[in-house]
Structures are given as C-alpha cells and as structure tokens.
C-alpha cells in the first residue's frame, strides 16, 4: 500500500520583524515633513523669546540710566531657522525554519535632526539713534494712540513735559519736581472725556505741513462737566470744541493746545528715576534717592525673582517688575509702544545673510 506524503507548512516567524522594519521605514519617511510641523511651534517660540528680550533690554536701559550709565539699543533684524534631517535604515530578513528566533530578522536605523538658527542683530547708533531716541515724540502719535483706546492720561504722563505751560512731574537734572495741580486736573478731565467716547482727531493738510486738531464733544453729563473743566484749565472759549495741537511750551493764539513732548530717552530716564536701589549705592554716590510717585514700580534684590513680568541683572543685583503689578505693567507696555513709534519713522538697513545649503 503506497503512502502519500504531504509537505508540512511551517509558519515563518520573521513576519513580525518584517512588519516592524516596514514601520521603521514609514517613520523615517514621515520625518520629511518636519518643516511644516515646526513652523507653528518655532514661530510662537521665537515671538515669545523676542518679546522677552525686548522687555529686558528696555528695563536694563532704565536701570542703566538710573545709575548714570550708558544705554545701549540692539535690534533683531532677522531670524532665520534652518533644519537638517538625515535618516538611514537597514533591514535584513532570514527565514530559516531551524534558526533561532533572534536570527530571523535584523533591522536598524538612525535619524539625525539638527536645528541651526541664525540671528542678525543691528546696533542702533549715529543718526538713527538720534532720530529714534533723542527726537521729541510727535503729539499726533500720542493722540492717535489715545483715539485707539490707550489711556490718554497715562500717555501724557509718560510722553509729555507740559501742556500750555502746565508742567508734568519730572526728575530732570537730579531734582524731583511734582506735577502741577493744573496738569493733574487736566489729565483727570481728559480721561473722563475719553471714557465717554468723545475724543477724536482731525488732520488738515497744509503746504507748510499737516495740522492736527483735537476734537472734544459729548452729550453725557460727565462728559459735559469734564469739557467745562478742560476749557477752564486751558483758558479757552466756553464754546470751544476743537483745539489745534502744536508743539511748544505755550500756545501762540486762542484755540491752540501747546504740547511739549519728551523723547524716548527722556521717558526712560523719568521712569528709571523711581527705581528702587540699595542704600549702599546711594551712600557711595553711585546714584541718587528714588523719585516718589513713579509710574512704574521696579524692585531690587540679591536673588533672582521667581515670578516677574521682566527681570534683569545689573552689577550683580536683580531688578524686576512684579507680574501682579498691573499698573506698572501697563505703563511699561505703553512706554514700549512709544519707543516702537519713534523707531518706525527711521529706515532700518536690511542685512544680507547667506545661509549655506544643507
């Protein structure tokens, strides 16, 4: 009797290894889209780092001026983020029925990811420094910000020396001078009119230059009372609702508001005058006592603060603004906006950066 032999089918246990090898290859291939994946993360990361750096530079310059040190301004001209991605993969499959399971398949792979960011910094010097930081701000810039919703009293306290001869508080020349009563009353009245939504601007083009008019009007009771106070303080006509804004200490004719503005460097100096400093620094003559009633409260200490809106180290001492001090943060932020406005009128040279191919 003849027997029929059937071949025995044995499963190839290397199939699982082959699947893992295929998964590795898919993983390596998927890394090709690293650029789009990193775009959102890097954009947010660089924006946050740039903002923190600008806050620290501004605070450091305020501290430097507090100690009669030289301020320095450095702008970030370009940020270029380059990536290099290299991947290799090897797969070996040996399906022998009698081989040990560990010898059925071999797989290996490497992925190398390199980020090479390029930053270009430009120091602000010479004519650009003079035009950006020594030139008094234009009154129209302050009023445009106020029309956009920025507190008009805060903007004037930051960027104005006087209005129609009514002086703002200042620490120029090392002497503390409080704001006049008329200036404080004018700021309160302007804030009331702004809160009622009745502050607007009118621009008039003339061959001699543009003219700016501040228009104040309102039907609400508190707005009408504030308007009466403004006219009385400025000694304007009782029916005046429009005032031409000019640069200067005193107005030349009725219907004008003379605004003597500050430069960015003056703003930083005035804000820095109220920074808290160690008593030892005052005794040594490194600086003078702090001016009372500053718009920004800057603290100092030997240890780095844990929760600060902005913090810098100067001469082995930490100076910072508390994260919970909303009033100081607001004044600091609008001072920074005024700095940006002063810089915006100046053309910035564009550097040429060559990035080698990877």
Q: 146 and 62 in one domain?
A: no
Least confident of 54-68, 97-111, 213-227: 97-111
Instruction: Report the alpha-carbon angle 309-179-246, nearest 5.
Output: 95
- Whether residue 136 is predicted with pLDDT greater than 60 in this model: the reply is yes
Mean pLDDT of 126-153: 90
Distance between CA atoms of residues 103 and 280, nearest Å: 75
Q: 172 and 89 in one domain?
A: no
What token pair was written down for 159?
């960027």
What token pair was written down for 311?
């913090």
173 CB-contact burial (10 Å; exposed 0-12 / middle 13-18 / buried 19+)? exposed
- Whether residue 95 is predicted with pLDDT greater than 80 in this model: the reply is no
Range of the domain at 169: 136-344
Distance between CA atoms of residues 96 and 77, nearest Å: 63
Q: How many domains does the chain have?
A: 2
Which of 43, 55, 32, 65 has its CA nearest to residue 311? 55
Q: What is the DSSP letter of 170?
A: B
- Whether residue 221 is predicted with pLDDT greater than 70 in this model: the reply is yes
CA 115 vs. chain centroid, Å, equals 25
Q: 278 and 163 in one domain?
A: yes
Q: Is position 328 within any domain? A: yes
Question: Of 99, 123, 147, which closes a domain?
Answer: 123
What token pair was written down for 9?
């089918």
Q: 320 and 246 in one domain?
A: yes
Which of 111, 110, 94 has its CA nearest to residue 102? 94
* Average pLDDT along the chain: 81
- Please provide the DSSP assignment of 2-57 as one string: PPPP-PPP---TTHHHHHHHHHHHHHHHHGGGHHHHHHHHHHHHHHHHHHHHHHHH
Which element (helix H / strand E) includes 117? strand 105-123
Q: What are phi and psi of 88, to 5 degrees?
A: -135, 150
Q: Is position 352 within any domain? A: no
pLDDT-derived band at 9, boundaries 50, 70, 90: very low
Is the model more confident about 111 or about 224? 224
Q: What is the pLDDT of residue 284?
A: 95
Q: What is the pLDDT of residue 13?
A: 47
Q: Which residues contact 166 (CB under 8 A, 6 or more apart)?
A: 180, 182, 183, 186, 233
Question: Of 90, 123, 156, which closes a domain?
Answer: 123
- Whether residue 15 is predicted with pLDDT greater than 80 in this model: the reply is no
> 10 Å Cβ neighbour count for 99?
12
Distance between CA atoms of residues 341 and 147, nearest Å: 15
Q: Mapping DSSP to helix (H, G, I), strand (E, B) and coil, where does residue 340 land?
A: helix
Q: 170 and 101 in one domain?
A: no
Question: Of 72, 99, 123, which closes a domain?
Answer: 123
Is the model more confident about 152 or about 200? 152
Q: Is position 324 within any domain? A: yes
Distance between CA atoms of residues 344 and 260, nearest Å: 21
Distance between CA atoms of residues 252 and 258, nearest Å: 8
Is the model more confident about 358 or about 83? 83
Which of 168, 341, 139 has its CA nearest to residue 258? 139
pLDDT-derived band at 12, boundaries 50, 70, 90: very low
Q: What is the pLDDT of residue 188?
A: 94
Distance between CA atoms of residues 259 and 131, nearest Å: 19
Mean pLDDT of 77-93: 66
């Amino acid at each position: 009797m003849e027997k029929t032999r059937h071949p025995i089918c044995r499963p190839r246990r290397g199939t699982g290894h082959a699947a893992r090898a295929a998964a590795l290859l898919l993983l390596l291939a998927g890394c090709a889209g690293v650029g789009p994946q990193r775009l959102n993360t890097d954009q947010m990361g660089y924006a946050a780092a740039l903002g923190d750096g600008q806050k620290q530079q501004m605070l450091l310059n305020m501290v430097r001026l507090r100690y009669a040190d030289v301020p320095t301004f450095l702008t970030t001209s370009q940020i270029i983020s380059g990536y290099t991605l290299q991947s290799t993969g090897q797969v070996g499959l040996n399906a022998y029925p009698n081989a040990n399971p560990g010898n059925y398949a071999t797989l290996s792979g490497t992925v190398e990811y390199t980020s090479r960011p390029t930053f270009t910094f430009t120091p602000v010097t010479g004519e650009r420094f003079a035009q950006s930081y020594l030139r008094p701000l234009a009154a129209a810039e302050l009023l445009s910000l106020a029309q956009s919703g920025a507190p008009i009293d805060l903007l004037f306290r930051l960027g104005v020396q006087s209005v129609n001869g009514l002086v703002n508080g200042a620490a120029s020349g090392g002497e503390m001078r409080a704001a006049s009563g008329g200036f404080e009353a004018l700021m309160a009245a302007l804030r009331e009119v702004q809160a009622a939504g009745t502050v607007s601007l009118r621009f008039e083009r003339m061959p001699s230059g543009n003219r700016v008019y501040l228009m104040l009007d309102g039907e609400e009771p508190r707005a009408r009372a504030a308007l009466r106070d403004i006219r009385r303080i400025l000694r304007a006509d009782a029916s005046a609702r429009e005032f031409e804004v000019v640069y200067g200490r005193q107005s030349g004719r009725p219907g004008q508001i003379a605004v003597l503005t500050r430069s960015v460097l003056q703003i930083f100096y005035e804000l820095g005058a109220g920074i808290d400093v160690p008593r030892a620094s005052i005794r040594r003559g490194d600086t003078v006592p702090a001016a009372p009633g500053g718009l920004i409260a800057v603290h100092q200490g030997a240890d780095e603060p844990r929760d600060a809106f902005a913090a810098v180290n100067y001469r082995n001492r930490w100076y910072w603004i508390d994260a919970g001090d909303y009033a100081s943060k607001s004044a600091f932020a609008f001072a920074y906006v005024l700095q940006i406005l002063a810089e915006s009128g100046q053309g910035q040279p564009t550097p040429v950066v060559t990035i080698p191919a990877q």
